[in-house]
Amino acid sequence: MLENIRLSFQGVWSHKMRSLLTMLGIIIGIASIIAIASTIQGTNEQLKQNLLGAGNNTVNVKLCRSDSEYEFDDYTGIPAGVPVFTESDREKMLAVEGVEDITFYTSRSYSSDVWYQNTNLQGASIMGIDNHYFNTCGYEIRTGRSFLDKDYTDFRRVAILDDTAATSLFQEDSPLGKTIEFGGTPYIVIGVAQKKDEYQPVINSIDEYNSLMGDSDSSGVVYIPSADWGISFQYDEPMNIVIKAANTDYMKTVGKDVKNIANALLSVGNNSDIKYKADKMIEKIEEEQKMNTAANQQLIWIAGISLLVGGIGVMNIMLVTVTERTSEIGLKKAIGAKKKRILAQFLTEAAVLTSMGGIIGVVVGNILAKVISNMTDTPTAISIPVIVVSVVFSMLIGILFGLLPSIKAANLNPIDALRHE
């Protein structure tokens, strides 16, 4: 085998221009496939990054009425049959494969204004959170401290602000130790929270902007211990859920499984339109990925035609090679070379020729992908499996299209071959 490979490289090198032109179809086909596959991979990764945000791998499961999130207020009240989640419920949800952490929270996005002395913060969201919220959602305490277990057990009226709320209420002053008030209840500010990693998604259209940025809290958020929720809002309310998945691939399954566990706890009747629902963003990203992949797969098939043309070129040049080396084949057979030895030699030469074309095609394809990315701002990502499959596939093309010439060479009559001029 090594001798056959050596002879193959020797034959390619002795006919450099002919070999290059023969490989050209393979090079173009492989390069096109690599470039297209890299674009598919890069675009899908961008969609994932837009979904992940700061890399928290979080999925929201919210109580909904029909297709809209259920809004609590003093008029609609709490729907009957929706329980408050317990630590036992949390353990069940944590047992779902792919769940790294779980947090429960309550929120009011239209709550009464938040006041600090004469400064009024309108439209702020109030959230009652457990001690898993900041870790699950990827927040850290920028100044001050987080909630302690004692804050929950002793019903301490303490609050943490996000950057927006802190700046709106206190401008450049430190909010720590200051007292704010909402719903007639005073709270002492003990900290300011912010995202651990600020991430700005790549926005390519107004629809993506609305999908990815539409839920941002422009007026700020005030966090209080979930144990204090009944103090400010008179009664405990059903909670929403944030799930931290182990990785992106688990996001859809954990959202579905935790949603099912939450819905199993409801006693609202089979015909009620009140249900827990997971983020629709996951399904939307998957649909976009499928559409993107399907469209580009058509281009891959078109690029595959270049490989077919390249394979025919390999077959043609190998038939020419067999004709040129007829006397050599006859001599080898006359001194005892068997058919399988002749067959293996020419198959190896065809496979080496197309493999070299495949490797060059991979290099050209990666360069082409980078050029496309720089010229069009289209993200690309190199896929190692695609590269390996491309090289192996090019080798198989050589074997397939080199089979007929190799069989012709192996079946030559040694006497006729020796007489060939």
| Residue-wise pLDDT tens digits, 224-245 | 999 998 888 877 788 899 999 8
Q: Does the pLDDT of residue 55 top 70, yes or no?
A: no
Cα 120–124–125 angle (5° rounding)? Answer: 150
Query: Which of the four pLDDT bands, split at 50, 70 and 90, describes residue 216?
Result: very low
210 vs 213: CA distance, rounded Å: 6
**pLDDT on residue 214:** 47
**pLDDT band per the 50, 70, 90 thresholds, residue 416:** low
Q: Is the pLDDT of residue 90 over 60?
A: yes
CB-CB contact of 263 with 61 (8 Å): no
Where is mean pLDDT largest: 243-247, 294-298, 348-352?
243-247
Q: Which two tokens stand for residue 390?
A: 């491309």
Q: Is 247 helix (H, G, I), strand (E, B) or coil?
A: coil
**Do residues 18 and 357 make contact, with C-beta atoms less than 8 angstroms apart?**
no
Give the per-residue pLDDT at 225: 94
Tell me the one-letter amino acid at 272. S
Nearest to 289 by CA among 120, 30, 45: 45
Q: Taking 90 as the threshold, does the pLDDT of residue 96 lie above it?
A: yes
Looking at residue 231, what is its pLDDT? 85
Q: Is 52 a residue whose pLDDT tops 60? A: no
Q: Is residue 263's pLDDT more than 70?
A: yes
**What pLDDT sits at residue 230?**
84
Q: Give the pLDDT score at 198.
A: 55
- Residue 365 pLDDT > 50, yes or no? yes
Q: Dihedral of CA 37/39/44/49: which sign?
A: positive
- pLDDT band at 415, cuts 50/70/90? low
Q: How high does pLDDT run on average in the chain?
A: 77
List helix spans (H) across 145-240: 149-153, 163-170, 206-213, 229-233
12-16, 114-118, 221-225, 393-397: lowest mean pLDDT where? 12-16
pTM of the model: 0.61
Q: What is the pLDDT of residue 91?
A: 93
What is the SS3 assignment for 16-33?
A: HHHHHHHHHHHHHHHHHH
Six token digits for residue 356: 């070299």
Strand 125-129 relative to strand 99-108, pairing: antiparallel
Average pLDDT over residues 345-372: 82
Q: Which of 174-188, 246-260, 308-322, 404-418 has the highest mean pLDDT?
A: 174-188
CA angle centred on 300, ends 298 and 302, rounded to 5°: 75
Asked if pLDDT for residue 333 goes beyond 90, the answer is no
Between 344 and 181, residue with greater pLDDT: 181
Helix boundaries (H) for 138-222:
149-153, 163-170, 206-213
pLDDT band at 209 (very low <50, low <70, confident <90, very high): very low
| Closest C-alpha among 292, 302, 249, 299 to residue 42 | 292
User: What pLDDT was estimated at residue 303?
Assistant: 65
What pLDDT is attached to residue 113? 78
Inter-residue contact 85 to 104 (CB < 8 Å): yes
Side-chain half-sphere of 318: how many Cα atoms within 13 Å? 33
Angle at 409 (CA atoms; ends 403, 414), nearest 5 degrees: 160
CA dihedral 205, 209, 212, 217 (to 10 degrees): 170
Q: Please say whether the beta carbons of 414 and 333 come within 8 A.
A: yes
Q: Where are the alpha helices (DSSP H) in 53-157?
A: 87-94, 133-137, 149-153
**Hey, what's the torsion of the CAs at 257, 260, 262, 267, to 10 degrees?**
-170
Please determine, for residue 75, whether its predicted confidence score (pLDDT) is greater than 70: no
**For residue 341, what pLDDT band results from cuts at 50, 70 and 90?**
confident
Higher pLDDT among residues 22 and 264, named by residue: 264
* Position 390 pLDDT exceeds 60: yes
149 pLDDT tier (thresholds 50, 70, 90): very high
Under the banding of pLDDT at 50, 70 and 90, the label for residue 272 is confident
Residue spans per domain, the chain? 2-49+287-419, 67-272
pLDDT at residue number 268: 75
How far apart, in whole angstroms, are the C-alpha atoms of residue 119 and residue 60? 33
Look at residue 54 and tell me whether its pLDDT is greater than 60: no
pLDDT in tens, 77-87: 667 788 888 89
